Chains A and B, each alone.
Chain A
């Protein structure tokens, strides 16, 4: 029997796909009246995120007056779409507002207050038949047109033909298989000529040989209108049997062409591109009239007084549309955007209509009774029979439920189109699709985390390599300098003799004293300046803005508790303090060099680092190492092999330290210093 049906279908050129379900259509209620216009709402809210890809870049400012069709945000990055003003008016805000998204989270939106004039910006069509294709596609980037079927993929990317994929067939998706939705149906009935014009443009852009429009057989009026419109063209209109989800791109391609597209391939790789009918009309409007994408047809149905299709400006609040459809019934429980199979519940009725919104359903317990509690899976495999992608929904459910994501991925979870056919037939009323969505977003999040971790690892390794390289470079430089300083060392020894008095003072104290002196000097200088009334050069005649800036900076610094000694007027003093500190450092070094002359003074110099080592090993290490290194400069090199074997991280440095100090005949004190350096170094290294 099945074989016979398949055979007759093949004769008609229709190929039935696996699975599918027949949910009640509920479309007739909204197709009684023609497409109507709605009045301008008080405020339009235009989310920046209305398409797949990057957010566009806002080109206007709050308070600016814009005309209908004026560019508000331009496409940025490879995958992005522009946003235009749906009517003339004033931009009142660019802020976060709740957008129609299953997350109910806010996102950036442009708020436009219409001025009621609906005045168009200057716009004209293009002579697309005689224009370079690449120029046409380039201009399409500014059209804001995205896939109107719900996928919202920027159309300029789908129309771009790269050298690799040679598109021979265009499939126009007019199946509209999901219950309740009738916007494409009405569009075809009323604007078939415009659609066909759009199809011709797309065909021209892609130089496709064949164009097939697929319409489900439950739309006889639309079929008639389309067949009439395509009369003088080579476009084919094919009627496909009503079966959910024939509107899925891959299903429709199979239905119309009998060609299956492998799950890891795109249809373009097979030379087939699929567009929605409404997208075709948008193309026609853009190329023939210069109108960007600013409105769409939306079905308002369900629990409303007069279900109907409306031509709606993007950004119109859903509540405004519901009022236009005669208001909602009192028992309305929530609102669904999209169809009952694949749509999602709106967070509230004030969210705006976007490029993706094809249908708003006012739901009531009567229309959508809440699902009975889910029962355990009885492994009846009805879901597998219904699955149009030939997956094993019961297995996917099992894996998703138990967070066994790797297995779910192995069972091709990502081929699931979330059509809901499996949930629809499940006798246990298991919300299967919800589990798949959950598992998919968990897997995507894990993949992203993994990517971030890989990036972090790479950056961390690069950083460690850099630090290591710098360390080696520094060590090399030190070695070179030590060689060069050998001769100068003799002089330093002589100079150090005269500085004996310094040996008693510790390096720390010397430094502190020097800094204090420097600050005192700086203060005295400032006072002197104040006394003579002479301002520092850079303060000679500050402009108001500069003064303001200085005041700001002072205020900020005060806020974080920095003393006035740090104020910009004291920069000179700062410099002097630094120089003084440097001198102090040099003196301290000389003091340390003294170790070469008297063991007692060396001990006194070492005692302090030792004490400090307990409180601050890093400082102690640095100081001991510095002192010892300085000492090494003062003497000719002679290694002390028995000491170089010390197991420590800085063997080379230590060897030098040890050698130098040994040569200086203060072996005891030097060994102590080295030990301190080693322990301090080790603890510090472990900390790093």
Chain B
């Protein structure tokens, strides 16, 4: 009886210590939920969700202050992924996702005011004061934040064209064959 008791006690102490150690050793820094939500968001940093970026929106979702369907660039798939992650009901997207675009600066018109650089959340614009500016299109997220500040309206959004490189196979469709042919 006493042996059993002491074994159980010993086990309890040992496991308790182990757990305590593990809790310290493998402590997770920051809020893992925010990081998980942020990983789903498309990082366009466009602010269409009403927050100044994806991370603030992720924080708001994690704190229950924002709905999961406020990010148009994430599309329907994004809402579903968030619903899955958070275990909440899916909601239709609030807003319309646009086709992926990148900004384009008409370099003949640009006066080099640097206003667009200050607006770009991902530093995708290259230029210097009074010099021509240009977009590094591989870095541009298509957030459109640079369009409004430009005083000479020389920034336009161009949809990303389909090339043999980024082309995707389409979902198989069954071709409709006229019946007369088969006879």
- Whether B175 and A442, one on each chain, are in contact in the complex, defined by CB atoms closer than 8 angstroms, is no
Closest to B51 in A: A686
Would you call A457 an interface residue if the criterion is a C-beta within 8 Å of the partner chain's C-beta atoms?
yes
Closest to A457 in B: B43
Would you call A431 an interface residue if the criterion is a C-beta within 8 Å of the partner chain's C-beta atoms?
yes
- Whether A449 and B121, one on each chain, are in contact in the complex, defined by CB atoms closer than 8 angstroms, is no
Would you call A560 an interface residue if the criterion is a C-beta within 8 Å of the partner chain's C-beta atoms?
yes
- Taking CB atoms, residues of chain B closer than 8 Å to A562 are 111, 152
Q: How far is the CA of A444 from the CA of B44 in the complex (A)?
A: 19
Among the listed B123, B162, B168, B172, which residue makes an inter-chain contact with A442, where contact means beta carbons less than 8 Å apart?
A: B168
Q: How far is the CA of A374 from the CA of B174 in the complex (A)?
A: 8
- Whether B163 and A105, one on each chain, are in contact in the complex, defined by CB atoms closer than 8 angstroms, is yes
Would you call A99 an interface residue if the criterion is a C-beta within 8 Å of the partner chain's C-beta atoms?
yes
Q: Produce 1/0 per residue, A538-574, CB < 8 A to B.
A: 0000000000000000001001101000000000000
- Taking CB atoms, residues of chain A closer than 8 Å to B153 are 560
Q: How far is the CA of A456 from the CA of B174 in the complex (A)?
A: 39
- Whether B171 and A559, one on each chain, are in contact in the complex, defined by CB atoms closer than 8 angstroms, is no
- Whether B54 and A445, one on each chain, are in contact in the complex, defined by CB atoms closer than 8 angstroms, is no
- Whether A560 and B174, one on each chain, are in contact in the complex, defined by CB atoms closer than 8 angstroms, is no
Would you call B42 an interface residue if the criterion is a C-beta within 8 Å of the partner chain's C-beta atoms?
yes
Would you call B67 an interface residue if the criterion is a C-beta within 8 Å of the partner chain's C-beta atoms?
no
Tell whether A445 pairs with B166 under 8 Å between CB atoms, given A454-B43, A460-B43: yes
- Taking CB atoms, residues of chain A closer than 8 Å to B165 are 49
- Taking CB atoms, residues of chain B closer than 8 Å to A435 are 172
Would you call B45 an interface residue if the criterion is a C-beta within 8 Å of the partner chain's C-beta atoms?
yes
Among the listed A102, A453, A454, A463, which residue makes an inter-chain contact with B123, where contact means beta carbons less than 8 Å apart?
A: A463
- Whether A445 and B172, one on each chain, are in contact in the complex, defined by CB atoms closer than 8 angstroms, is no
- Whether B52 and A453, one on each chain, are in contact in the complex, defined by CB atoms closer than 8 angstroms, is no
Least Cβ distance of A389 to chain B in Å?
Answer: 19
Would you call A210 an interface residue if the criterion is a C-beta within 8 Å of the partner chain's C-beta atoms?
no
Q: How far is the CA of A40 from the CA of B169 in the complex (A)?
A: 35
Q: How far is the CA of A463 from the CA of B139 in the complex (A)?
A: 13
Would you call A107 an interface residue if the criterion is a C-beta within 8 Å of the partner chain's C-beta atoms?
yes
Closest to B161 in A: A105
- Whether A103 and B174, one on each chain, are in contact in the complex, defined by CB atoms closer than 8 angstroms, is no
Task: Find residues 54-87 in chain A having any chain B CB closer than 8 Å to their own CB.
Answer: none
Least Cβ distance of A336 to chain B in Å?
Answer: 16
Would you call B177 an interface residue if the criterion is a C-beta within 8 Å of the partner chain's C-beta atoms?
yes
Task: Find residues 33-84 in chain B having any chain A CB closer than 8 Å to their own CB.
Answer: 38, 41-45, 52-55
Would you call B87 an interface residue if the criterion is a C-beta within 8 Å of the partner chain's C-beta atoms?
no
- Taking CB atoms, residues of chain A closer than 8 Å to B166 are 445, 448
Among the listed B43, B141, B169, which residue makes an inter-chain contact with A102, where contact means beta carbons less than 8 Å apart?
A: B169
Tell whether A434 pairs with B53 under 8 Å between CB atoms, given A103-B162, A449-B42, A454-B43: no
Closest to B172 in A: A434
Task: Find residues 368-384 in chain A having any chain B CB closer than 8 Å to their own CB.
Answer: 370, 373-374
- Whether B169 and A463, one on each chain, are in contact in the complex, defined by CB atoms closer than 8 angstroms, is no
- Taking CB atoms, residues of chain A closer than 8 Å to B121 are 460, 463
Among the listed A444, A449, A459, A686, which residue makes an inter-chain contact with B122, where contact means beta carbons less than 8 Å apart?
A: A459
Tell whether A440 pairs with B123 under 8 Å between CB atoms, given A99-B164, A449-B42: no
Would you call A438 an interface residue if the criterion is a C-beta within 8 Å of the partner chain's C-beta atoms?
yes
Closest to B44 in A: A456
Task: Find residues 637-671 in chain A having any chain B CB closer than 8 Å to their own CB.
Answer: none
Q: How far is the CA of A556 from the CA of B163 in the complex (A)?
A: 33
Among the listed B109, B167, B171, which residue makes an inter-chain contact with A556, where contact means beta carbons less than 8 Å apart?
A: B109
Would you call B135 an interface residue if the criterion is a C-beta within 8 Å of the partner chain's C-beta atoms?
no
- Taking CB atoms, residues of chain B closer than 8 Å to A102 are 167, 169
Would you call B170 an interface residue if the criterion is a C-beta within 8 Å of the partner chain's C-beta atoms?
yes
- Taking CB atoms, residues of chain A closer than 8 Å to B157 are none
Closest to A466 in B: B123
- Taking CB atoms, residues of chain A closer than 8 Å to B93 are none
- Taking CB atoms, residues of chain B closer than 8 Å to A441 are 167-169
- Whether B141 and A105, one on each chain, are in contact in the complex, defined by CB atoms closer than 8 angstroms, is no
- Taking CB atoms, residues of chain A closer than 8 Å to B172 are 431, 434-435, 438
- Whether A49 and B164, one on each chain, are in contact in the complex, defined by CB atoms closer than 8 angstroms, is yes
- Whether B122 and A456, one on each chain, are in contact in the complex, defined by CB atoms closer than 8 angstroms, is yes
Least Cβ distance of B121 to chain A in Å?
Answer: 5
Q: How far is the CA of A434 from the CA of B38 in the complex (A)?
A: 33
Among the listed A374, A455, A459, A688, which residue makes an inter-chain contact with B52, where contact means beta carbons less than 8 Å apart?
A: A688
- Whether A103 and B109, one on each chain, are in contact in the complex, defined by CB atoms closer than 8 angstroms, is no
Would you call A462 an interface residue if the criterion is a C-beta within 8 Å of the partner chain's C-beta atoms?
yes
Would you call B108 an interface residue if the criterion is a C-beta within 8 Å of the partner chain's C-beta atoms?
yes
Would you call A585 an interface residue if the criterion is a C-beta within 8 Å of the partner chain's C-beta atoms?
no
A-B contact pairs, 17 of them (CB 8 A): A49-B165, A105-B164, A105-B167, A365-B181, A370-B175, A373-B174, A374-B174, A437-B169, A441-B169, A449-B42, A452-B43, A453-B42, A455-B139, A457-B43, A460-B43, A460-B55, A556-B108
B residues sitting closer than 8 Å to A (CB atoms) are 38, 41-45, 52-55, 108-109, 111, 121-124, 139, 141, 152-154, 162-172, 174-175, 177, 181
4 closest pairs, A vs B, by CB?
A103-B167, A434-B172, A456-B43, A453-B43
13 extra interchain contacts, Cβ-Cβ under 8 A, other than A105-B163, A444-B168? A102-B169, A370-B177, A434-B172, A445-B168, A453-B41, A453-B42, A457-B43, A457-B54, A459-B122, A460-B45, A460-B121, A462-B123, A560-B154
